[in-house]
Structure 1
Amino acid sequence: MSTFIAAFLFLLVFFLLMSIGYLLKRKAVQGSCGGLGALGIAKACDCDEPCDRRKARDAKEAKRQEYLAKHRIL
């Protein structure tokens, strides 16, 4: 029973540290090969025109990057 409790606590601490890392970096967990990003593919579909949700998300990210560049401390 003590082995089970130790393993559970280890996994709990591991997931806690992973969640803290995600909150601080705002970067999703990805595989070691990088997935589609390693191939230079920005999206899973091969549409010529991105959907409205994708356009809105890209615009929001561009605005966020502009804000971060403008208010950079260093």
Structure 2
Amino acid sequence: MLTVFVASFVLFMLVVGGMSLGYVFRRKTLQGSCGGITALGMEKVCDCPEPCDARKKRMAKEALRREQLNKHRIL
């Protein structure tokens, strides 16, 4: 019984460690596999009339990246 517990705990810690290494090296957050809220056709969780500052920054960064990609495709 104790062997199963220790083996399960070690396996669980390896999985958590692997996920944390992915975050540390790639700075990429964990994401669901089935789309979550976006699968329902919603863009955000709250019903705020305008996005928060963090979302505005993220949207601006994405727009800049898309603009740069389009410039490189044209050239």
Which TM-score applies when normalising by structure 2?
0.56
- Cα distance in structure 2, aligned partners of 1:21 and 1:68: 26
- Of the structure 1 ranges 18-27 and 1-10, higher mean CA displacement relative to structure 2 is found in 18-27
Q: Does residue 46 in structure 1 map to residue 27 in structure 2?
A: no
Aligned residues: 69
- In structure 1, which of residues 12, 26, 51 is the aligned counterpart of residue 28 of structure 2? 26
What is the CA–CA distance in structure 2 between the aligned matches of 1:25 and 1:68, rounded to whole Å? Answer: 21
User: Per-residue deviation at 1:16?
Assistant: 2.4
In 2, Cα distance between equivalents of 1:20 and 1:41: 30
Gaps of 5+ in 1: none
**Cα shift at 1:5:** 1.9
- The alpha-carbon distance between structure 1 residues 11 and 52, as it changes in their structure 2 partners (threshold 3 A), is closer
The alpha carbon displacement at 1:8 in A equals: 1.4
Instruction: Give the TM-score, by structure 1 length.
Output: 0.56
- Distance in 2 (alpha carbons) for counterparts of 1:20 and 1:48: 36
Instruction: State the shift of 1:53 in Å.
Output: 3.4
Residue 3 of structure 1 pairs with residue 21 of structure 2 = no
Identity of aligned residues (%): 45
Report how far residue 14 of structure 1 moved.
Answer: 1.7
- CA 39–9 in structure 1, closer or farther in 2 if over 3 Å, else same: same
Shift of 1:15: 1.7
Q: Which residue number corresponds to residue 58 of structure 1?
A: 59
